[in-house]
Amino acid sequence: MKPARWLADYGMILVLVLLCALFSVLTYTEQSPTGEAAARQVVDAVLKAVPAGARVLVVASDQPEDSGFAARVERDLKASGAEVLASVTGEPRNAREALQRLQADGGALQAVAATRVAGGWRVFAGLASEFPSLGSPRMITPASHRWPNFLKSGNLLNIANQIAVIAIVAVGMTLVIITGGIDLSVGSLIALSAVLAAGFIRDRAGGVGASTGGMVLGCLWAILACGAIGAFSGLMITRFAIPPFIVTLAMMLVGSGLAYLLAQGQSIYQIPDAFVWLGRGADLLGLPNAVVLMLVLYALAHVLMSRMKLGRYLYAVGGNAEAARLSGVPVRRVLLFAYVASGLLAGVGGVVMASQLKSGSPTYGNMYELYVIAAVVVGGTSLSGGEGRMLGTLTGAFTIAVIQNGMNLTNVESYTQKVVLGSVILAAVLLDRLRQGRGIR
């Protein structure tokens, strides 16, 4: 593929990268490792500074982020042949007591392994003068470095996990928009799916004691029900030629109403803990399972759209339905497929959301259809149909997520966030237009 065309198709990636760069700069701050990460670093440092058989005092402050530090350091040092004379977790007073005890016992102390906070206690500053018999122990604390909060792996995974639902639903929306249609019902279907899945598990699979099989069955049921609603929309659109906007607007209301009815306006939370596996678990290389699912769906959809006959038909129907029909494309079936797929994927999105939040509520997915459409459009898919790329949509979804996350990290309050997000969506589409040279008329 020529570079120019690649840029035209995936120019939004550039925008996304620039946004990431911007937020990286804005959140560039001092980072000091805490907890187990700090422990690992400190153990390495101790072993390097004092080879073989070091006598060490371990000190940790009692702040929550450092919990686990002392135990880990003690364990790792012992495993490496060092001698841990004492391990203190608490306040400066506790450290002083420990030092006094060590002095009373006699013998030299070669190193103090402390957390960052504990290392700064005044008791250690006067160590040589107050406790001369301990020798001159080395103070070893975790080194600090500068790194953007935005680029911490935890944050990046968080972004991906946050956007997974919208991105999954946007796969279906992209199919629909490429055919020249729109599906406004997806937000409601997310809620309906979450309620159906949670309701099934509570009422038919044994509630909190539900088996894995029961949970899987509940999710499948929810997803298929949403697919059926998509099929209904598709039939209305293809058989009765009702505009997609109207049909799916109606189904948006119907879906949301059904979700409230089925849940009786309540959250359904009588679900086993294991249900959060999909939404909160991370089994593969530390990637959250929902993100893995999202990536798999995008890969499949990308192959569908770029390699398969059905994908070609979807583009052709959106580009010129009459020409497609006269070329032998089964236009109605193709359209039906798009709406069914959109319904199914909204169902999947609802299940993921229920799993992330460990409950099903009819309030889920409120306004999501708009974020989903925004992701598709920011990704370069034309609302008039016939063009668009799956990977563009993924980029669009991440663009939205990155902006939201970046603003959270830089303490922009939520009202302002909305204004900025709206402006960015408009700017992204405007940019796309101008780049294609059809902007100004």
Partner 1 sequence: MSPTAPLVSLTGIVKSFPGVRALRGVDLRLEAGEVLAVLGENGAGKSTLMKILGGAQTADAGTLAIEGRPQRFQSPQEARAAGVAVIHQEFNLVPALSAVENIFLGQEKTPGVFLSRQRERDQVAALFQRMGVEVDLDVPCRRLSTAQQQLVEIAKALIHRARILVMDEPTAALTSHEVERLLALMRELRAQGLGILYISHRLDEVFAIADRVTVLRDGGHVCDRPIDAITRDQVIEAMVGRPLDQEFPSRRVARGGPRLEVRGLRRGTAVRDVSFQVHRGEILALAGLVGAGRTETVRLVFGADPRDAGEIRLDGRVLDLRSPRDAIEAGIGLLTEDRKLQGLVLDHPVRENFGLPNLRQWCRRGFVQRRRERSELDRHIAALRIRLSDPEARVGNLSGGNQQKVVLAKWLARDCEVLIFDEPTRGIDVGAKREIHQLMNDLVAAGKSIVMISSELPEVLGMADRILVMHEGRITGEITEVAQATQEQILRLAHA
Q: Kindly identify the residues of this chain, within the stretch 370-399, that bind partner 1 according to CB under 8 A.
A: 386-387
Selected range binding partner 1 among 166-174, 321-329, 335-343, 346-354, rule: CB under 8 A: 321-329
Integer Cα distance of 116 and 143 in angstroms: 8
Q: Kindly identify the residues of this chain, within the stretch 324-363, that bind partner 1 according to CB under 8 A.
A: 324-330
Q: Classify residue 164 by its DSSP letter.
A: H
- In the bound state with partner 1, the residue whose beta carbon lies nearer, of 5 and 146, is 5
- Residue 369 CB, shortest distance to partner 1, in Å, is 26
List strands edge to edge, sheet with 83-90: 83-90, 55-61, 111-114, 138-140
- In the bound state with partner 1, the residue whose beta carbon lies nearer, of 84 and 324, is 324
Site string for partner 1, 105-144 (x = CB under 8 A): ----------------------------------------
Burial (CB < 10 A; 0-12, 13-18, 19+), residue 282, is: middle
Task: Please count the residues of this chain forming the interface with partner 1, following the rule CB under 8 A.
Answer: 22
Burial (CB < 10 A; 0-12, 13-18, 19+), residue 79, is: exposed
- In the bound state with partner 1, the residue whose beta carbon lies nearer, of 176 and 197, is 176
- Residue 223 CB, shortest distance to partner 1, in Å, is 22
Q: Kindly identify the residues of this chain, within the stretch 288-317, that bind partner 1 according to CB under 8 A.
A: 307-310, 312-313, 315-316
Number of other CB atoms surrounding residue 140 within 10 Å: 23
- In the bound state with partner 1, the residue whose beta carbon lies nearer, of 308 and 370, is 308
- In the bound state with partner 1, the residue whose beta carbon lies nearer, of 374 and 429, is 429
Integer Cα distance of 15 and 169 in angstroms: 22
- Residue 231 CB, shortest distance to partner 1, in Å, is 20
Give the DSSP letter string of 202-262. HHTS-GGG--HHHHHHHHHHHHHHHHHHHHHHHHHHHHH---HHHHHHHHHHHHHHHHHHH
Q: Is 281 helix (H, G, I), strand (E, B) or coil?
A: coil
- Residue 78 CB, shortest distance to partner 1, in Å, is 59
Q: Kindly tell me which residue out of 126, 322, 413, 440 binds partner 1, with binding defined by CB under 8 A.
A: 322
Q: Is 309 helix (H, G, I), strand (E, B) or coil?
A: helix
Selected range binding partner 1 among 36-44, 218-226, 323-331, 426-434, rule: CB under 8 A: 323-331
**Number of residues assigned to the chain:** 441
- In the bound state with partner 1, the residue whose beta carbon lies nearer, of 191 and 329, is 329
- Residue 201 CB, shortest distance to partner 1, in Å, is 35
- For 337-347, give one letter per residue: b (16+ CB within 10 A) or e: bbbbbbbbbbb
Q: Which amino acid is at 226?
A: C
Q: In 81-185, at which residue ranges do the beta strands (DSSP E only) sit?
A: 83-90, 111-114, 138-140, 145-148
- Residue 296 CB, shortest distance to partner 1, in Å, is 18
- In the bound state with partner 1, the residue whose beta carbon lies nearer, of 149 and 320, is 320
Q: Kindly tell me which residue out of 319, 363, 412, 417 binds partner 1, with binding defined by CB under 8 A.
A: 319
- In the bound state with partner 1, the residue whose beta carbon lies nearer, of 125 and 323, is 323
- Residue 8 CB, shortest distance to partner 1, in Å, is 12
**Cβ contact 58:142 at 8 Å:** no
Instruction: Report the interface residues with partner 1, using CB under 8 A.
Output: 5, 307-310, 312-313, 315-316, 319-320, 322-330, 386-387
